[in-house]
Amino acid sequence: LAWLMAKLGSLGPHLHALARGDDPRPVVPDREAQSLGSEITLDEDVRGRAEILPHLRRQADRVGRRLRRAGLVAGGVRVKLKTSKFKLHTRQAALRPATDAGDMLFREGERLLEAFDLGEPMRLVGLAAFDLADAAAPIQGELFGNEARQRQHRLDRAVDALRDRFGRTAVRRGSDLED
């Protein structure tokens, strides 16, 4: 305690108490989520864009489904990669308009991969949606070009319904099928 007080002043006793598990603040278990994410720690490290993309695609699809189930849209996407040496790298970007579509999350996540050194072996691939908002809340609409997003939304809902009824593997992407 004396060392912490000497180094940190009045913050020292507070940090000392927290380190000992003494925290009088009330636990708030039901706060609103700040983000929704999905990640996978791989059995074998992957290297390069081609090996990372299928894992990023699956995480984007999972996050999109979770957003739709929660009735939320994301205003941003974050990609998380951890190297075989346990060094964590993240990059994020805003999404406009906000979305719950796995395809849009994936496309932006794929673009973010350009900012990483993909020559390093990676053991974890993750994607998270943040800046969450109620999907039913009114938003500024687009005057033109909304048809493709509406079609994608109907397709995502149909796939969700099939998976709810027949199981998670009832509908899969062709890229997920093995030889």
pTM for this model (two decimals) = 0.77
Identify the weakest region by mean pLDDT among 23-27, 46-50, 118-122, 147-151: 147-151
- Distance from C-alpha of 129 to C-alpha of 36, rounded to nearest angstrom: 5
- Is residue 152 helix, strand or coil? helix
pLDDT of 176 reads 77
Both tokens of 150, joined, read: 């509406």
Per-residue pLDDT at 171 exceeds 80: yes
pLDDT of 149 reads 78
Using alpha carbons, list the distances in angstroms from residue 147 to 65, 67, 108, 141, 151.
20, 21, 20, 12, 6
pLDDT in tens, 28-70: 777 677 899 999 999 999 999 999 999 999 999 999 999 999 9
